[in-house]
Structure 1
Amino acid sequence: MINRRHVLRGSGIAAGAAALGLAGAGISPASAAGQPSPPTFLPLPDSVKPLPVNADGYRLERVGRNGYVLIYQYVQSVFVVTRTGVVLVDAPPLTSEVLPAAIASVTNKPVTHFFYTHSHADHVAGVTNYPRATRIAHRDTATLLTLHNDPSRPKPQVVINEDHKVLYIGGEEIHVVYPGANHESGNILVHFPAQGLTAMSDVVMPGWAPYRAWGNADYLPGILAAHDAILGTDFTTYVGGHIYRTGTRAEVKQSREFFLDFWTTTQKTLGNISLPEIQASLAEPLNGWAAQKVWIDRIAQSVMSEMIDRWGTKIAAVDTFTADCAGAAAVSILTDAPVDFP
């Protein structure tokens, strides 16, 4: 399955919300001076706020005996120190200065192996800092990296074709699981059983609502399969690739519940808002794009309102990208979702 997302582009949060007229997006009225006030949003729960960082601005968490999670600003990376070297999962370019220093702070062993969770540059374009590492990726990611032809994301030397592959590197047992296309074709989870550690980028942001349009996911129904694959591993610490903390099993389950609620709410709303009635009400009914826009925007408003009511105090940022996610879910339901999903 070939990727249909590349670079995330979009207007600002406030502008997008204003265009949809969304209650709950919290756009403040113009100030007395005639300048727009900063947009306001629901407060973040304390459970998702950043934890303390070191003098270099990053947080390094030890997981198990020899696993580590680097958290720097809003990106994350995982590495495990084995008998023969360091196994690294993702290298966001934002961490190009701090990640080598974090590794060196716990071991003098070199990075010998690198796992691409998927092809997106925000997670992996720092791999060239480790030129001697053997690069490993799923076959779909290898295909996309070839198409990208980006020197900062070189092709892997080892390509995994199986849906579940067990590797042994430096005495460390490593499970690579591919549940099918999800956030991106080829997006894998990497599980280190001895450390109780599972990493899968851009599927679950523990304690947070999804990013804009589910991060422009390749295949939205695959997001549910990815949740199930994560929960199918025996982990105590989950790493989602973004935001300020690692996650727990309970938070992955919560994210799964949110996805199901979101999907079924969108399905219901699709049936409750009539596209033909909207089209007939337009000054130019033959403008199908305009009819679709009004229809999807109304669906988005309704879904956003319901999700804020049910989830706004439970997880972070339900009032930010939910409308975009609802639009993406509506299109997926109409075009590529399996019959009777979920």
Structure 2
Amino acid sequence: MIGRRSLIRRGSAAAGALALGAGAGLATAAPASASAAPGTTGFLPLPEHVKPLPDTGDGYRLERVGRNGYVLIAGIVQCVFVVTREGVVLVDAPPAARAAIRAAIPSVTDKPVTHVIYSHDHADHIGAVGDHPGATLIAHKDCAALLAAYADPARPVPHRIIRDHHKVIHIGGEEIHFIYPGPNHEAGNMMIHFPRLRLAHMADVVMPGWAPYRAWGNADNIPGLLTAHDAILDLDFDTFCGGHVYRTATRAEVAQSREFFVDMWSTTVRKSSEISSADAAAAVAEKENVWAVQKVWIDRIAQSVTSELIDRWGTRIAAVDTFTPDCVGALVVSTFTDAPVNFP
């Protein structure tokens, strides 16, 4: 069943305006910001291990995985393709990587793309599938239902639908596992595992070495993100493709992403009980303006949580000072709407 769309995902101060240490009881220590040029805004410096690696000179990086697997990285988008006996199986077709896909696949094989697997329905991951006419399109049933509702010619409804939580399909001699842990970043967002290559792909759940994108990328089910992390870590893999940022991930980096999620959730729950909603109401001129009261309260939680996370994580992973307030705001709402029991 398709999960409900979370509509309240903001509820936090803009990261650029985050005033660390402002207000009673907030943490004040934070790593030094990178030097900002005149007219620009300073943020924490990126750790070296998250920065882009050298590319081919044509604007993309191609990493070989095993005998016949490849991860393609173009800017901050990633996809996977595997060369089988029959042809190429492509996992996602991001529009931002369109030119890179057209160049990279012919650089290693003259076989056509015979199958495109949709990780999920979002246009930034599958909006260029039309470049592969004649390919068999594969997706989870919830993804297919969303695409049918969109009726977007750039994202056709798949030909083959995965209805099981774990389905194994053989294509051109390659064993491919389709695993759906339930709604997470999006309803129908699947893991695709190539066990022989020790290669796993799942979009928009793990950003290797980075704090999460704004409000978890409009996540459909935030507690499901932890379930997805656990499902990834249950797999036997050496290389993980997360769909975004400059590098693939190791198992240790997926585990680190999980640790950050748990820390943010636990700290948000603690701060939600420590920071008074009554005090927030006292700061609003019209007490009946419940949206304003909620905003003040959630912004105070987001500011305090972000301060703590910068202290613990600011030098270990990238961009903790950017979208973390928005993510915390989404977590606050999730704690009393999704309201998971015995979590995390």
8 Å contact from structure 1 (residues 25, 40) kept in 2 = no
Q: Distance in 2 between matches of 1:53 and 1:94?
A: 16
Number of residue equivalences:
333
Farther off after superposition, 60-69 or 282-291: 282-291
Give the RMSD, CA atoms, in angstroms.
2.3
C-alpha displacement of 1:337: 2.8
The 1:190–1:18 alpha-carbon spacing in structure 2 relative to 1, beyond 3 Å, is: closer
C-alpha change, 1:132 and 1:45, in structure 2 (3 Å) is: same
Q: Does the 8 Å CA contact 2:6/2:221 hold for their aligned counterparts?
A: no
Q: Does 1:314 align with 2:316?
A: yes
Contact 2:239 2:249 in 1 (8 A): yes
- Runs (5+) with no aligned partner, structure 2: 22-29
SS in 1 for 2:14: helix
What are the Cα deviations for residues 178-205 of structure 1, in whole angstroms up to 9, with x where unaligned? 0000000000000001111000000001
Change (3 A) 1:324 1:188: same
Please tell me whether residue 269 in structure 1 is matched to residue 267 in structure 2: no
How far has the Cα of 1:5 moved from its partner?
6.7
CA contact (8 A) 1:26 1:40 kept: no
Aligned to 2:15: 17
Q: Where does 1:168-183 land on structure 2 (aligned, <5 Å)?
A: 168-183=170-185
2: CA distance, partners of 1:248 / 1:90: 20
The aligned counterpart of 2:326 is 324
**What's the offset of the Cα at 1:21?**
3.7
- What aligned pairs does 1:40-79 form with structure 2 within 5 A after superposition? 40-79=42-81
1:25 Cα deviation (Å)?
Answer: 11
Say whether the 8 Å CA contact 1:173–1:192 is kept in structure 2: yes
Q: How far 1:55 sits from its partner (Å)? A: 2.1
2:24 counterpart residue number: none
Q: 189, 202, 205: which is aligned to 2:204?
A: 202
Shift of 1:20: 4.9
Distance 1:123 1:219 in 2: 19
Q: CA–CA distance in 1 between the matches of 2:146 and 2:42?
A: 38
- In the alignment, which residue of structure 2 is the partner of 1:193? 195
Cα 1:116–1:210, aligned 2, differ >3 Å: closer, same or farther?
Answer: same
Runs of 4 or more off by more than 4 Å in structure 1? 22-28
Residue 258 of structure 2 is matched in structure 1 by: 256
Pick from 37, 40, 48: which aligns with 1:38?
40
1:3-58 per-position Cα deviation (integer Å, ceiling 9, x unaligned): 5279xx99xx9x92355545669999x99xxxx73111111111111000112111
2:145 is the alignment partner of 1:104: no
Maintained 8 Å contact 1:25/1:320: no
| Partners of 1:341 and 1:272 in 2: CA distance | 19
One-letter amino acid of the structure 2 residue matched with residue 235 of structure 1:
F
Paired position in structure 2 for 1:89: 91
- Give 2:5's aligned amino acid: R
User: What residue is the counterpart of 1:284 in the other structure?
Assistant: 286
- Paired with 1:95 and 1:284, the residues of 2 have a C-alpha distance of 50
Match for 1:153 among 152, 155, 170? 155
Question: Which letter maps to 2:103?
Answer: A
Contact in 2 for aligned 1:296/1:327 (Cα 8 Å)? yes
1:109-141 CA distance string (max 9 Å, x none):
111111100000001001000011100000000
How far apart are residue 277 of structure 1 and its match? 2.7
Query: What amino acid does structure 2 have at the position aligned with 1:216?
Result: N
- Structure 2: how far apart are the matches of 1:40 and 1:3? 37
CA contact (8 A) 2:180 2:188 kept: yes
Q: Which amino acid aligns with 1:16?
A: A
Task: Give the alignment's TM-score, normalised by structure 2.
Answer: 0.92
Query: Counterpart of 1:105 in 2: which secondary structure?
Result: helix
User: Does the 8 Å CA contact 1:74/1:242 hold for their aligned counterparts?
Assistant: yes
- Using the aligned pairs only, state the percent identity: 63
**Cα 1:211/1:249, change in 2 over 3 Å:** same
